[in-house]
Chain A
Amino acid sequence: EVQLLESGGGVVQPGGSLRLSCVASGFTFSSYAMSWVRQAPGKGLEWVSAIGTTIYYADSVKGRFTISRDNSKNTLYLQMNSLRAEDTAVYYCAKGGITVRRFDPWGQGTLVTVSS
């Protein structure tokens, strides 16, 4: 069974940093593009970043967030620096990208709260 499990969320002060992890199982992790998507409380979905042969970022996080992966550990990361209140959201990792043209599956999500 394909599974994604995020961790690393929590409460952080504005300007602080946090690193999210997403451990994958049930598929050949290195063969697939992966993405991060976030959802602010009560709001819609916002794509954040993707990593495949190339790395992409949403303008809202460019220069502050860094996506990476360790294929030996089947793990996706999102390093988040200079956090702002508007970064408060549930962060999901998802398998897929432009080549497969869908995200499937998604992890259960991890909540990041930026507050003083």
Chain B
Amino acid sequence: AIQLTQSPSSLSASVGDRVTITCRASQGISSALAWYQQRPGKAPKVLIYDASSLESGVPSRFSGSGSGTDFTLTISSLQPEDFATYYCQQFNSYPLTFGGGTKVEIK
């Protein structure tokens, strides 16, 4: 199975900060990666698919990049509603796998 390693596992940031989360795959997955946001007690919501495509309705401050084994989710200017946990997921092959998550907390 393809393993996804997210870093950091948590971070503290202030409103307006630029935040970067990385996801590394144990083998090449082309651009078959999605990013999700999960707020406490809620279901995950897709932000980015195909590594860099912004899901409809998602604010443009979210962006994704990368291909192969190294991927990045960037929030250009952190907003209060962005404090949540973020997960990457690979769609290259079954079994589908998720990264361990990155919790973004208020500084």
Contacts and interface: CB of A to CB of B under 8 A. Distances in A.
A and B: bona fide binding partners: yes
Interface of A: 35, 44-47, 50, 56-59, 92, 97-98, 100-109
A45 B95 contact: no
Contacts of A56: 94-95
Interface residues of B, number: 25
Contact of A44 (B43, B46, B49, B101): B101
Contacts, number: 66
A46 B93 CA distance: 15
A47 B96 contact: yes
27 contacts: A35-B96, A44-B87, A44-B101, A46-B98, A47-B96, A50-B94, A56-B95, A57-B95, A59-B95, A92-B44, A97-B96, A98-B92, A98-B93, A98-B96, A100-B49, A101-B49, A101-B50, A102-B91, A103-B36, A103-B46, A103-B89, A104-B45, A104-B46, A105-B43, A105-B45, A106-B44, A109-B43
Given A45-B98, A98-B94, A98-B96, 6 more contacts: A45-B89, A47-B89, A97-B91, A98-B92, A102-B49, A102-B91
B32 interface: yes
B31 to A, nearest CB: 8
A43 to B, nearest CB: 9
B81 to A, nearest CB: 18
Given A101-B50, A104-B55, A47 B97 contact: yes
A112 to B, nearest CB: 15
